[in-house]
Amino acid sequence: MEFPNFAANFKLMSIDEILNKVGPSTGSGTLTQKEIKLLLSTAGEDKKKLFDRALQVKLEHLDNYVHLRGLIEYSNICTKYCLYCGVRCKNLKVERYQLSDEEVIECAKLAHELGYGSVALQSGERSDKAFVDKITHLVQEIKKIDNGSLGITLSLGEQTEETYRRWFEAGAHRYLLRIEASNEDLYYKIHPRDAKHDFKQRLDCIDSLLKIGYQTGTGVMVGLPFQTLDDLANDLLFFKQKDVAMVGMGPFIPHPDTPLWQYRDQIPSADKRMELTLKMIAVLRLMMPEINMVAATANQTVDPQGREKAILAGANVIMPNLTPNEFRENYLIYPDKACVKDKPDECQSCLDMRLAAIGHKVLYNAWGDSVAFTRKNAPK
């Protein structure tokens, strides 16, 4: 699959005119779908202008700080069978695991000791009572560390509004639920069409999270089979319309033990998927200057400098993996995942050096909440 050269077919619009609508000093600008598609089609000097403007906007609104979320991959046990995911329940090659309470708390304590300020608890998707009760307990226990000094992000899939509220009241305050594709037709090309994988339910869950008061995050994969430039532009408009607080986007990486593997020859090259991901990050930074955006590990899996490139394109969050090393190779949503063998202390010093080399620095011992969310919810 190749994306058409939209820019060559739409010369009436000036890149400079579009970029002048969205910053840096103008703040959040309104872009049309056509303007977004043009920006996503840039090449050469125009692409550099896009990345430079996105970095300008980020530095003006958020400074050069990068926030860390210590990632705890709690379990790869999942009840769903999404067509792209390596830990789908129908993949019988995966060795399933679940961390003990003690292991989770040790990971959280390590995050605190390293000054990360926040943890992100991620898992395969379950909604049974035992799982819901366990997560409630773990959130409460993490909040006991140093009098609740750690921020808590959850990424545990679709749940009932009652469950989301219960976890929120236990102490979680951020939740990441990727829409994966905001186009319903595309959604059902990467998910089964059945009761367990319902597009409307996904949307309802995002709305529930927003209603409850979570700093709500979502996101998509870039470079999927069947995905078009219209889809990607509409994804960005979807984030804007929902007014989310954080977004995670990364290049699609096909997994050999999934149904989508058969379409691997119909996706852009790894370099093009990476470039398109960076453009998505940059354009969204222009559209939503104060949200948090993740420099996903998938970026570094595709490109050794992928996380740094994402930071320079507008991202401001990195999620170092704190999962005990012996479990990491069993939590592979996609293959050849970067940093699987890294040790947390080595990862920290490496990140400090790599970020300093691009003029950025970690903001330690801070929750790193979304400025957009904080401003929106400040007392009037």
Find the angle CA(250)-CA(254)-CA(255) to the nearest 5 degrees: 120
Residues 6+ apart with CB under 8 A from 222: 232, 249, 250, 251, 252, 273, 276, 277, 280
What digits encode the pLDDT tens for the residues 284-296?
Answer: 999 999 999 999 9
Domain architecture of the chain: domains with CATH: 33-376 (3.20.20.70)
> What is the residue type of 97?
Y
**Cβ atoms within 10 Å of 229's Cβ, excluding its own:** 17
**3-class secondary structure, 7:** helix
CA 294, CA 281: separation in Å to the nearest integer?
Answer: 9
| pLDDT bucket at 277, cuts 50 / 70 / 90 | very high
The structure tokens 């050269």 sit at: 5
Read off the tokens for 271. 């370099």
Instruction: Residue 162: name the closest of 123, 127, 137 by CA.
Output: 127
What digits encode the pLDDT tens for the residues 184-228?
Answer: 999 999 999 999 999 999 999 999 999 999 999 999 999 999 999
Model confidence at 1: pLDDT above 60 = no
The radius of gyration of the chain's CA atoms, rounded to the nearest angstrom, is: 20
Read off the tokens for 88. 């789908």
Ramachandran area for residue 135 (φ above 0: left; ψ -120 to 50: alpha; else beta): alpha
What digits encode the pLDDT tens for the residues 62-86?
Answer: 999 999 999 999 999 999 999 999 9
